[in-house]
Structure 1
């Protein structure tokens, strides 16, 4: 920790480890490798969201790296693009949530109707067709309610967390450092 900031150090042997070599874009718009993206996200996710972070991208001295501002711009561009993509996915996610709630609501209504009919006609409790229908309604209610619960509690929380992590990357200080000693950081 330095100046109240949590320091995340990522060491690279060469620029090829940082950027996707199949991306023909100019450097400032080039995509990061999947490994680098996942590494940055997982390291940022460990740090408390309110704690300031500095991301140090460390290369060995003498390595042929472009100017630091270009590398930093590329990292910010990549995570800016990911955040925009995340926003588009969130719109689709919310649409699916609404459909899930409608399905759960319809199944609950069917369950209430079934229970009401069974309550008013107790002799149906011995009818095989009604028992099978009741079992089907119970299974449908269980699966749709669980799916809705999973959407709201688990998936939504994970999506929100990922968005916060990407915003944290974009708001963090990023440095390019030439250093050959592990752990020295600058």
Structure 2
């Protein structure tokens, strides 16, 4: 595996934390175990002034890894499971509004996944406007999103409900469906 993907995650526009990117890199190169990587990747969130806000940065990195690192489809859900298995941090000393639920169930990861992966519902209008190779890229991304989502659901991770799978199938059978997008996604 080359360093290109990891380097691309460190450009300023991505706003990823270097420790989080390094933790995924070490884990995928089998330098650390899933529990060790979970501890390392969550440390920047735990050290943040606003863990509840910074967790979305980590979720974005995990989402990108799940979708883009196709050769690592198996180990990445294991990392998510290790993160979910982390003990809940003790925020009892914090003000009630600053008490966060971070790891169990990966609170809000599923919602973030849906909003970003499906562009809050605008994916279909984006797809309708494309053709040729650009359309094939979008088709592949859409099917990959469905594949990863199904894997997360089957593993019981990230609060992905079964309803989403039913919705994909229902939409694929609808009169306004984009068959070249929705049938492959439903197959996943």
The structure having more radius of gyration, on CA atoms, is 1
Give the TM-score normalised by structure 2.
Answer: 0.38
